[in-house]
Structure 1
C-alpha cells in the first residue's frame, strides 16, 4: 500500500488500517512477529514516530503485543464486549463460532442472598459454559424467577439467552455490574480445561428492562486473556436550577 500524504485521513491511521488488513488476510498470522519499526518506516515511506503511533494504537486495541528485545507480535483475537449484547452475538460479530455446554438447569428455591432482589419462591438456575473454537471462555450462572419464563429446556438454553428472553416479551435495556479479578485454583483449571493458571475476571450483574424491572442475576467468570469487557464511563451533568 502507498500512503497518501495528501489525504485528509491521518498518515498514522492509514498505516494502522493497512497493518490490520495484512493481519486479517493472513500476511501476518497469530503469534508471528511483524516487520520492525525501521522496516515499516522504509517500506511505507513514513517517519518512525508515525509507525510508533500506529503500532501503539494497535497494541492498545489488543491486536498486537510488544515483547522487549524480540519485536511486535500478532495477538490471538479476544472476545470483546462493548455494549449490551449476548455472548453468542459478540462471538458471531468477531467471525468465530461459539457453542454452549449446559452444566445445570434446575428449578430451585430462591437463594437467601437473592431474595431481596428477586422476591419469588422459586427461580431457575442455569449454569453454562461458553466455548469458542474448542476453548472454554466463560462460565455463566443465571438466576431468573420462574414466574418470568415460558417454556425452557436444555436445548433452547444452548442458544442466545437474550434471544430466548425476547420470546417471553423481555428485552434487556441495561446491566449493573461489579467486576473483580480472581485467582485460578484447581477447580477453575478443571472447569476451564487448562493445565496452567490463566487470568480470570468475575462479573456479578443485575440485568434490567427499560422500565427498571430486574429480570435476572448473572454471575460469570471469564478468561481475561480471551475476553475483554470495554466499559464507557460518562459524567452526568446535573440540571441547573
Structure 2
C-alpha cells in the first residue's frame, strides 16, 4: 500500500471511529451504522473504490454484533452505495454523474465541471460524410449534404462514462478540425467561433450495447445503458448538432426538474 493510501485509510478509520452508536435510541443500531458509513462517503473521507474496514473491525469499533454490521452493509449494498467482492472485501461503489434534463442546455463537460469533476475525451472519429436520410432530417438538410461527424469516448475522473456521436452541418463542424478536444467542451469551442446553442430537444431511453460499444465502454456486449438523443438549435432555430450518446447505467443518472403545469404548457406525447 502506498504512503498516501495508508494515510487516507487512517483518516477514514479515524472518521468512522468518531461516530457513535446510541444503544438506547429507538433507531435500530444497523440503521445508525449505515448512516455513519454514508456520512463518511458523502464527506469524501471514504472515496469511490476504497476498501472499507472488515466486519470484525467494525464490530470492535462500535461494540455491536456481527449481525448488526452485516445488516448495515446489506442495506448499503442494496442501495448500491457499496460493492462486495468475494475474496477481496467491501468497497465504496463508483459515484454516478448526474445530468440535469430541465431548464438549461449543457453538455456532459459543463455538467461535470459544475460538480468539480473532470471530463476527458478520446476522439475516435472526426470526418466528413454525406448525410443519411435520418441525419439529414435531424439537421434540416438535403440527403447527401456533407456533414461533419465526431465520435468520442468520454471519461469522467478517468472512468469510462459514455460513447457519443455528434453530427453537425459542415459550416459548423469545420470549426472542430485541428482542435484538441481532449480536455475541452464542444459547446465552448463552437461558441468561441460564433455558434451558440440556445435550445434543444432531448430524449432518453434504455438500450443494450453491441460488441463494439460494450468493448469501448468497458462493460461488454448486451449490457444496459442509457441512450440520450439530442437536437440542438441556435437562436434562429437553425440546427447546430444532432447527437446520440450511450451512458453506462452504472455510472450515470439523469435528473428531471418538474413544475406544476400551466395553461400555456404543451403536452409531450412519445410514440413508438
Task: Quote the Cα distance in structure 2 between the aligned partners of 1:187 and 1:149.
Answer: 25
* Alignment match, 1:117: 138
Task: Quote the Cα distance in structure 1 between the aligned partners of 2:208 and 2:158.
Answer: 23
Task: Quote the Cα distance in structure 1 between the aligned partners of 2:151 and 2:40.
Answer: 39
**1:20 Cα deviation (Å)?**
6.1
The 1:215–1:236 alpha-carbon spacing in structure 2 relative to 1, beyond 3 Å, is: farther
**1:191 Cα deviation (Å)?**
2.0
Q: How does 1:1-241 map to 2 (within 5 A)?
A: 22-23=40-41, 24-27=43-46, 30=49, 64=81, 74-83=92-101, 84-120=105-141, 121-149=145-173, 151-153=175-177, 155-158=179-182, 159-195=184-220, 198-238=223-263
**1:131 Cα deviation (Å)?**
1.5
Task: Quote the Cα distance in structure 2 between the aligned partners of 1:137 and 1:127.
Answer: 14
- Give the TM-score, by structure 1 length: 0.67
**1:114 Cα deviation (Å)?**
2.5
The 1:28–1:116 alpha-carbon spacing in structure 2 relative to 1, beyond 3 Å, is: closer
Task: Quote the Cα distance in structure 1 between the aligned partners of 2:239 and 2:125.
Answer: 22
Q: What count of residue pairs does the alignment treat as equivalent?
A: 205
Task: Quote the Cα distance in structure 1 between the aligned partners of 2:221 and 2:233.
Answer: 37
Task: Quote the Cα distance in structure 1 between the aligned partners of 2:226 and 2:188.
Answer: 25
**Higher alpha-carbon Rg:** 2
**1:222 Cα deviation (Å)?**
0.8
State the secondary structure of the residue aligned to 1:147: helix
Deviations 1:173-211 (A, max 9, x none): 332122221123322222213357642111111112344
Moved more, 112-121 or 193-202: 193-202
**1:30 Cα deviation (Å)?**
4.7
**Unpaired segments of 5 or more residues in structure 2?**
1-17, 20-33, 54-58, 63-74, 85-89, 265-272
- Give the TM-score, by structure 2 length: 0.60
Deviations 1:52-107 (A, max 9, x none): xxx99xx5xx7x3699xxxx985321111115322222233333332111111111
Task: Quote the Cα distance in structure 2 between the aligned partners of 1:29 and 1:218.
Answer: 30
CA RMSD in angstroms comes to 3.7
Kept in 2, the 8 Å contact 1:156–1:164? The answer is no
